[in-house]
Amino acid sequence: MSPLRGETLSLEAAAPPVVSLTEIRAAAGRIAGAVLRTPTIRSDALSRATGATIHLKLDNLQATGAFKERGAANRIALLSPPEREAGVIAMSAGNHAQAVARHAALAGISATIVMPRFTPATKVTRTEGWGAKVVLHGETLAEAAAHAHDLALREGLTFIHPYDDPGVIAGQGTAALEMLEDFPAIDTLSVPVGGGGLLAGCATAALEMKPGALVFGVEVEGYPAMAQRLKGQPVSVGGPTVAEGIAVRDVGELPLALIRKMGVEVLVVPERAVEEAIALLAEGAKLVAEGAGAAGLAAVLAYPERFAGRSVGIPVCGGNIDARALSNVLLRQLLRDGRILRLHFDIPDRPGMLADIAGRISALGGNVIEVQHQQLFGAPTVQSTELHLMVEVRDAAQGNAIIAALRAGNYVVRRG
């Protein structure tokens, strides 16, 4: 395998390098000790919830919280002595930045990471914490990438691409290699897709180890770039998503060629399914996953007929989710499940009304966790008042019973 240097591979100029199970096994040997061999666990809770036998590959437990260490470690291990002396450079606003920084530091190699100016300060600080030099440049990832390539050429640095590199792809494939070594009965993989390196590597490993296995890539509906490219459609992406780790416009040309050659199908999931998967991993499997890390499970939730009765391996490929985003996702899921009620009333402005409503709720086991009582300005007349309650309940049935009891007391109540 010829490591790439300086620029992304041009498939028009040369046939795509072969990434094989042999190369993936070699990568596993190179990264042993530097990258955690994460556990693969069977989740009974998720299996019951989905109708499939779910196995989770816990790469959210890596030192940087994501699978990117695999590809970065292997690519850095492939550097020639002159390349090691000159140093490496990468472009990333996320997990790849920390992965390259960490493994360059472990190898005693200098690393420069170009990040867009909008990159959150915490990500800059974490990357610098691994010993890398961080350069903030450009307003977009594309501008940062262009600057990184320019620095690589000017300073003789080796560019470590996040996904369009055979060494990186082979490293990412070690996730599927380990998963299938631990659970040979797995017959289906559901793998998140950003630039495509993880899917290309995992599909290569799985289909050579288990011919006839099913491998699905997973993209979120706002960023279905790989699915569009595979169908020969123009790429149209954009919009906010909790799965920002796979919110990619430009997929890798090498991963695209490999995925197309293997005939791997890419499933596109709605944003809501990703949020449901994050919540299910937190509650059912007791795992914290970022949106991209939950995308594999989201596909099982969105396409249950494709996975029913199968033994499914899912890489939980990252756990770097903002605490506020995680709390918002969990609260939104509680509302969707009917375990939190938002109730709105217009009630007469008389003493005892609020106490009566609270009593009816508590009599049926509901727990009022928030009250907004607007007497002066919000109500339609001076003889009434607006009341908004947030109520915690056991399940949707208990919530419906509470609403019925309130209406039986002649309260007009709306769910919000």
pLDDT band, residue 376 (cuts 50/70/90): low
321 and 377 both lie in a single domain: no
| Beta-carbon contacts of residue 133 (< 8 Å; ≥ 6 apart) | 110, 111, 112, 113
- Mean pLDDT confidence for 273-300: 98
- Mean pLDDT confidence for 209-215: 97
Alpha-carbon distance of 98 to 60, in angstroms, equals 14
- Mean pLDDT confidence for 305-314: 98
367 and 346 both lie in a single domain: yes
313-330 as b/e: b if 16+ CB within 10 A: bbbbbbbbbeeeebeebe
Please name which of 26, 66, 48 lies closest in space to residue 315, comparing C-alpha atoms: 66
Phi-psi region of 373 (alpha: psi -120 to 50; beta: other; left: phi over 0): beta
The 10 Å Cβ neighbour count of residue 355 is 9
99-130 as b/e: b if 16+ CB within 10 A: bbbbbbebeebbbbbbbbeebeeebbebbeeb
292 and 317 both lie in a single domain: yes
53 and 87 both lie in a single domain: yes
pLDDT tops 70 at residue 381: no
59 and 115 both lie in a single domain: yes
pLDDT tops 50 at residue 7: no
Alpha-carbon distance of 316 to 16, in angstroms, equals 28
Dig out the tokens for 206 from the structure: 């799985």
**What is the separation of C-alpha 234 from the centre of its chain, rounded to a whole number of angstroms?**
24
Q: H helices within 160-250, ranges in order?
A: 166-182, 197-209, 225-230
pLDDT band, residue 9 (cuts 50/70/90): very low
pLDDT band, residue 2 (cuts 50/70/90): very low
Q: Which pLDDT score is estimated for 385?
A: 85
- Residue at a domain's end among 306, 337, 368: 337
Q: Which residues pair with 311 in a beta bridge?
A: 53
- Mean pLDDT confidence for 17-31: 94
61 and 47 both lie in a single domain: yes
* Local structure of 27: helix, strand or coil: helix
294 and 187 both lie in a single domain: yes
CATH number where 358 lies: 3.30.70.260
Model's pTM, two decimal places? 0.90
Q: Is there a contact between 291 and 244 (Cβ–Cβ < 8 Å)?
A: yes
209 and 230 both lie in a single domain: yes
**Look-up of token digits 């005693």:** 108
Phi-psi region of 62 (alpha: psi -120 to 50; beta: other; left: phi over 0): beta
Q: Which pLDDT score is estimated for 5?
A: 33
220 and 362 both lie in a single domain: no
> Which pairing describes strands 40-43 and 53-57: parallel, antiparallel, or unpaired?
antiparallel
267-273-276-280 Cα dihedral, nearest 10 degrees: -20
How high does pLDDT run on average in the chain? 92
pLDDT tops 80 at residue 88: yes
pLDDT tops 70 at residue 292: yes
306 and 327 both lie in a single domain: yes
327 and 347 both lie in a single domain: no
Share of the chain above pLDDT 90, in %: 85
- Residue at a domain's end among 337, 357, 386: 337
| Beta-carbon contacts of residue 370 (< 8 Å; ≥ 6 apart) | 388, 389, 390
Q: Which residues pair with 340 in a beta bridge?
A: 392
Write out pLDDT tens, residues 117-133. Answer: 988 888 899 999 999 99
Query: Which of the 8 DSSP states describes residue 61?
Result: G
Q: Is there a contact between 258 and 231 (Cβ–Cβ < 8 Å)?
A: no
348 and 321 both lie in a single domain: no
CATH number where 265 lies: 3.40.50.1100
- Of 16-20, 59-63, 68-72, 311-315, minimum mean pLDDT range: 16-20
Please name which of 121, 264, 130, 161 lies closest in space to residue 206, comparing C-alpha atoms: 264
How many folded domains does the chain comprise? Answer: 2
Q: Which pLDDT score is estimated for 378?
A: 54
385 phi, psi to nearest 5 deg: -145, 150
- Residue at a domain's end among 304, 322, 337: 337
pLDDT band, residue 16 (cuts 50/70/90): low
What kind and span of H or E run contains 214? strand 214-220
Write out pLDDT tens, residues 214-255. Answer: 999 999 999 999 999 999 999 999 999 999 999 999 999 999
Q: Which residues pair with 373 in a beta bridge?
A: 387
Domain that holds residue 350: 340-415
Q: Which residue has the higher pLDDT, 269 or 349?
A: 269
Q: Which pLDDT score is estimated for 379?
A: 54
Q: Which pLDDT score is estimated for 10?
A: 39
pLDDT tops 90 at residue 373: no
Q: Which pLDDT score is estimated for 6?
A: 33
The 10 Å Cβ neighbour count of residue 209 is 17
- Mean pLDDT confidence for 111-121: 91
